[in-house]
C-alpha cells in the first residue's frame, strides 16, 4: 500500500505556488499603492527652506505666534533633517491649537 505521490512530491507545483504567492504579496504591498502615484506631488512640497526663509518664519512666530506658523517651522526643520527642532515646534503648534492653553 505504498503511494508514489507521498514518496516523490512534484516540486514544480511547489515552485509555481511560491512564485504566485510572492507575486500576490508584491501586488498587495507595493503594486496597488496610491502613495506611489502621488509621490511626485509630495516631492514638490518637501523642498528645503533657505536660512532666510526660516529666519523670517521664526521672526513671524516671535511677533505674532500662531499654530500655523509653528507647523510651517516644524515642516521646515523636518525637511532639513533636524527632527529635534521639528518636534519642538510641532508641540508648540499643538499647544497653540488647544483652547485655553498658554505657550510655554
Provide the whole-model pTM.
0.53
**Chain segment 60-95, per-residue pLDDT in tens:** 999 999 999 999 999 999 988 889 999 999 999 999
Contact 86, 60 (CB under 8 A): no
Residue with cell 533636524: 82
Rounded to whole angstroms, the Cα distance separating 42 from 35 reads 9
List pLDDT tens digits, range 4-18.
Answer: 556 667 788 889 999
What is the torsion angle, in degrees rounded to the nearest 10, for the CA atoms of residue 80, residue 83, residue 85 and residue 87? 130
66's CB contacts (< 8 A; 6+ apart) are 96
- pLDDT at site 104: 52
pLDDT digits (tens, 9 = 90+) for 27-49: 888 765 555 444 444 554 566 77
Amino acid at each position: 500500500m505504498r503511494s508514489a505521490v507521498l514518496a516523490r512530491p512534484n516540486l514544480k507545483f511547489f515552485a509555481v505556488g511560491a512564485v504566485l504567492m510572492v507575486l500576490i504579496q508584491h501586488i498587495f504591498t507595493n503594486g496597488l499603492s496610491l502613495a506611489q502615484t502621488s509621490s511626485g506631488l509630495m516631492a514638490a512640497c518637501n523642498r528645503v527652506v533657505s536660512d532666510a526663509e526660516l529666519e523670517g518664519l521664526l521672526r513671524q512666530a516671535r511677533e505674532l505666534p500662531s499654530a500655523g506658523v509653528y507647523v510651517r517651522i516644524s515642516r521646515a526643520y523636518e525637511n532639513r533633517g533636524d527632527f529635534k527642532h521639528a518636534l519642538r515646534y510641532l508641540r508648540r503648534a499643538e499647544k497653540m491649537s488647544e483652547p485655553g492653553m498658554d505657550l510655554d
